Amino acid sequence: MVLTYAQAAALALQHEMEADPRVLVLGEDVGRGGIFGQYKGLQQQFGPARVIDTPISEAAIMGAGVGMALAGLRPVVEMRVVDFALCGMDEIVNQAAKNRFMFGGQGRVPLVARMPGGIWDASAAQHSQSLEAWFAHLPGVVVVCPSTPQDNYSLLRAALACGDPVVYIEHKGLWNVQGDVDPTLAVPLGQAALRRRGDDLTLVSWSRQAGICEQAADALAAQGIAVDCIDLRSIWPWDREAVLASCARTRRLLVVHEAVQAAGFGAEIAATAAEATGCRVARLGAPRIPVGYAPVLEAQSRVTAAQIVARATALLQNTTH
C-alpha cells in the first residue's frame, strides 16, 4: 500500500495497540491526531484512556511516561518536536536511561519517546534543531531516525518491542512523503539499508538527509562515479558491520548529516571507520549557526545534493594516486 510517512506511523501504532493493550499514547494534541497527523484516528478507535491528551508540560509528560513504563505499560510519549523535549531532559537522561542499570535490571523503561527533529520550513532556531547526537551520547537509550514511510512503520513497531527507552526522531520535513509500505516487513533496530551500490565511495547518512544522499548518488552516477549509499536508520546502535565492510572495499567514506557538523554523530562514524579500516574519511554537516527564519538564512543550514556531490568529488580527487 502507498502511505505517507505520517500515515505509516499511525498504522504502526494502530497495529501495536490492537495487539497489546499495554501500548498507549500520551502527549499534547494527540487526541486530535497530533500536529503532523501521526496519531490520526487513534483516539476515536481506542478512546481517551489510551490516547491521552496532556497539559503543556514536557517534564510532566515524560515523567508520567517513565512511571507508566516502570509499572508495566508500553507508552508512546509525544514531545511534539525534539526542541521541546529539552524541557523533559532530566526524566530522559537521569530516569529513563539509567533505571535498568542502577537497579540491576529489576526495572525497565520500555517507552518510545517521539521527538520530530530537523529543519521545519520557516520555523526558525527553536523549532528546527537536529539533536540526535545528544541522545547517541547517552548510555541506556536507543536512537532511531527513519527516512521512509516503510521504515517509519517497521521501526516504530520494532521500537515498541525493544523493551528499553527509544528516542525516536522522525524528520519534520518528511510527514507528507509517500512510499510503499508492507505491513508484514520487519526491520530490526541497528540494521542499515543499502540504498545504492558502488565501489568508488561509501556515503553514509540517516533521516531526511539519506534521501538527499540518494539524489547525490544518482548525480555522481551520471558522472561515472558509483557509490555505496547507506542509510543507517538507527544511529544507536549503528550498523558498524555494514559501514566498515563498505569502507574496507571503497577505501573512502563521506558521512553526511543535517545536524551541525561540529561534534555531530558523523565524527563517531568517521573515526571508527578510519581506525578500523584506514580509509580516507570526510564529513559534511551544517555550519555551527542557529537555523534562520528567513528562507535565505534557513538555506545556509541545509546540506544540499550539490554540496554532497562537490565534497564527494573532492574526496575522490584527493585520494587518487
Q: Which residues are tagged catalytic?
A: 127
How many other C-beta atoms lie within 10 A of the C-beta of residue 283? 19
Quote the strand ranges of 106-226, DSSP E: 112-114, 142-144, 166-168, 178-180, 193-196, 201-205
Q: Which amino acid type is present at position 174?
A: L
φ/ψ bin of 248: left (φ > 0), alpha (ψ from -120 to 50), beta (otherwise): alpha
φ/ψ bin of 27: left (φ > 0), alpha (ψ from -120 to 50), beta (otherwise): left
Tell me if 207 sits within 8 A of 147, measured CB to CB.
yes
∠ CA 291-178-38, rounded to 5°: 70
How far is CA 209 from each of CA 18, 38, 64, 206, 214, rounded to the nearest angstrom?
Answer: 33, 21, 33, 6, 9
Residue 208 exposed, middle or buried by CB count within 10 Å (0-12, 13-18, 19+)? buried
